Structure 1
C-alpha cells in the first residue's frame, strides 16, 4: 500500500529563515514544530513555525523527490515557489486544519 506525503516550507516571524521538509502527516508535523516538541531541532532553534508552503503528493516517494529538488535550489527559488502559492506569506496551518 502506497502512502502519500507533503513537502512543506516553514519560516520564522521575519521570514529570514526557510526550512524545507517532507512528511506523511502534515497537520501533526506542523503542530510539533509549533509546539517545539523537539527543542534542540533546527526549527525550534530558529523559531521556524510559520507554514508558508505545502504541496501534497499521492506517493511519499514523490514528496521526497520534490523536497530534494527544492533543497537543491537557492533561496530565491524557494521564495518564488512560496510567492506563487502564497504571495502574502500568510500562515497556512489554520487553513490546513480546517480541511
Structure 2
C-alpha cells in the first residue's frame, strides 16, 4: 500500500506576532512558495512575511489534514500557541529541518 504524506502546518513571522495555518502535500515546496510569494502577489504570507515553520503534523489522508487545518483555524491564538509549545516549546524555526534555509530561487527548476 502506498504511503501518502499530507501536512497541516503553522507558520509565523520573524517576530512571532502573526500565525498562519495551512495544509500541503509537500512542506518543502510550500515553504518555498510562501518565501518567494509564487502565488498571488497580495496573499497573506507574502504581505506579512509569514514563512517560518513552527509546527506541523503529518497525515496519510488529505481529508484528515484539511479537517485539522479547519479545526485549528477556528481556535483563538492562545490555543494555537499552546499547540505549538506542546511540540516546540522554544518556537524554533523548523525550516532548516525540512530544507536548506533560506531557499534558493531555482528550487522549481531542479
Q: Once the two structures are superposed, what CA deviation does each residue of 1:15-43 show, in whole Å capped at 9, x if it has no partner?
A: 11000010111110011111222331100
What value does the CA root-mean-square deviation take over the aligned residues? 1.6
Within 5 A, what are the aligned runs for 1:9-20?
A: 9-20=10-21
CA distance, structure 2, for counterparts of residue 17 and residue 70 of structure 1: 14
Say if 1:6 and 1:57, in contact at 8 Å, map to a contact too. Answer: yes
Please list every run of 5 or more consecutive structure 1 residues that lacks an aligned counterpart in the other structure.
Answer: none
Q: TM-score, normalised by structure 2?
A: 0.82
Q: Secondary structure at the match of 1:70?
A: helix
Deviation for aligned residue 1:3: 4.1
Match of 1:34 in 2: 35
The partner residue of 1:81 within 77, 80, 83 is: 83
- Asked which structure has the greater CA Rg, the reply is 2
SS of 1:56's equivalent in the other structure is strand
In the TM superposition, 1:42-57 aligns within 5 A as 42-57=44-59
Note if contact 1:5-1:60 (Cα within 8 Å) is conserved in structure 2. Answer: yes
> Is the Cα–Cα contact under 8 Å of residues 2 and 59 in structure 1 kept in the other structure?
no
- Give the number of equivalent residue pairs: 98
Q: TM-score, normalised by structure 1?
A: 0.91
Distance 1:2 1:66 in 2: 19
Please name the residue that 1:25 is paired with.
26
Q: 1:67 aligns with which of 49, 60, 69?
A: 69
Paired residue for 1:91? 93
Asked if 2 retains the 8 angstrom alpha-carbon contact of 1:10 and 1:20, the reply is yes
